[in-house]
Amino acid sequence: MDLILHAGDATRAVVLDELARYAPVAAVIGNNDREDVAAWGARETAELDIAGNSVALIHDAGPARARPGRMHRRFPDASVVIFGHSHIPMDLASEDDEVRLVNPGSPTWKRRQPYPTYAIIEFGRRVDVEIKALA
């Protein structure tokens, strides 16, 4: 089953409505989102079971320093935490494999990145992450 996970900064609910035309959407609120995004149903965090994987979704995962431990403490059951805010794409497994951190970047607001990006994540026995650039 396809599912769109949005890590915040959709800015307007109409963006989430458009995405929902293609697949179900789970979204969290970003610091650039207007009130209609919360009215749409986005929350501060979301915790989902996807193909037997515990997945957490949050916009701001805080500073890079100590992020894996902080996210593991905040979401102790999650094997994957997907976040946004920095718009810096990354796929990082913690040294002790407690949690995998994924930031898909942004397909629309690349900030200081060379390209806008998004991620395709396949959940199953393994979790495969591919960060794709829109060139």
The pLDDT value given to residue 112: 81
Neighbours of 96 (CB within 10 A): 9
Q: What are 67-108's pLDDT values in tens digits? A: 999 999 999 999 999 999 998 999 998 666 789 999 999 888
Domain that holds residue 120: 4-133
Contact indicator for 86, 112 with CB cutoff of 8 Å: no
Residue 12: CATH number of its domain: 3.60.21.10
Q: What are 94-104's pLDDT values in tens digits? A: 666 789 999 99
Q: What are 5-61's pLDDT values in tens digits? A: 999 999 999 999 999 999 999 999 999 999 999 999 999 999 999 999 999 999 999
pTM (predicted TM-score): 0.94
* Residue 31 in tokens: 């610091």
The domain tally of the chain equals 1
Query: What is the rounded radius of gyration, in angstroms, for the C-alpha atoms of the chain?
Result: 14
> CA-to-CA distance for 133 and 135, rounded, in angstroms?
6
> CA-to-CA distance for 121 and 103, rounded, in angstroms?
11
Grouping H, G, I as helix, E, B as strand and the rest as coil, residue 51 is coil
For residue 17, report the phi and psi dihedrals to the nearest 5 degrees.
Answer: -60, -45
